[in-house]
Amino acid sequence: MITSRKNAKIQEIRNLLAKKSLRDENGLCVLEGTRLLAEGMQAAWQPRFGFYCASQLERINEMVQQLIEMGADMEEVPLDLLSYVADTTNPQGLIVVFEQHSLPLPAHPDFVLVLDAIRDPGNLGTTLRTAAAAGVNLVILTEDCADPFSPKVLRSGMGAQFHLPILSQSIPDIQAYCLTHKLQIYVADSNGGESCWQQNYQSPLAMVIGNEANGPSAAFQSPQTQNTLIPMPGGFESLNAAVAAGVLLFEVVRQRQT
């Protein structure tokens, strides 16, 4: 049993939780909670090592054994040490380091979501979850978005990261990708554009969602871009980014199923 806060693995997990650069450099992420861990294991992501709390072992024993069978080095820690390591307020008895796994990019994408400067982890995770539910082929993040593999984004995404190809690119590279794959770019803009109820989303497209504070980047605007507007009869200026993404993505789904 590990009991010291100075243990090297304890410190490694704390650093991975805190530092995006370290997660990127090592291709790792940290998963907490049985539901998120089950999603990662089902998606065949590779666990490296982790900790479990014996006081909760009866409930999590089967998962601990599965993790060991998958090659994870699992060690017992007391509850106070697990709470010290964990990013959550009430840890569920398990915390595990996994290797990040990049899913293959679609050869012929026709439903792409572009997220522009979505910095709030809850918004980003919720939007990724919505994109997975809507059947989006690919999510592309601008370089100033939150980290999709940060602990808060992983939790709010509810495992969407295990099922969605996710790229981080500059706006010029995103535009070049859309041009190469003949994707019509629609930019959600509360300041003007054609109603999303009137536009035709049957053809291959990339839907751009900007953050709530500043809206979409002006760099996305071009003669080939079309602005799209969600009608808001209640008179509010804008919607939460995750809510706007949900409305627009499922309007695409609705049109393509009729």
> Residue 190: pLDDT band by 50, 70, 90 thresholds?
confident
Asked whether the predicted pLDDT for residue 86 surpasses 80, the reply is yes
Residue 232 has what pLDDT? 86
What are the boundaries of each domain within the chain? 8-99, 111-257
- CATH number for the domain running over 8-99: 3.30.1330.30
Per-residue model confidence (pLDDT) at position 208: 97
> pLDDT tier at 78 (50, 70, 90 boundaries)?
very high
Q: What is the pLDDT of residues 121-148, one digit of tens each?
A: 999 999 999 999 999 999 999 999 999 9
- What is the C-alpha to C-alpha distance for residues 185 and 127, in angstroms, rounded to an integer? 18
> How many CA atoms within 13 Å lie on the side-chain side of 114?
29
Which residues are paired to 207 by β-bridges?
A: 113, 186
Q: Identify the architecture of domain 111-257 in CATH.
A: 3-Layer(aba) Sandwich (3.40)
CA separation for the pair 95, 73 (Å, rounded): 12
Residue 196 has pLDDT above 80, yes or no: yes
By C-alpha distance, which of 251, 249, 239, 233 is closest to 215? 239
* Mean residue pLDDT across the chain: 93
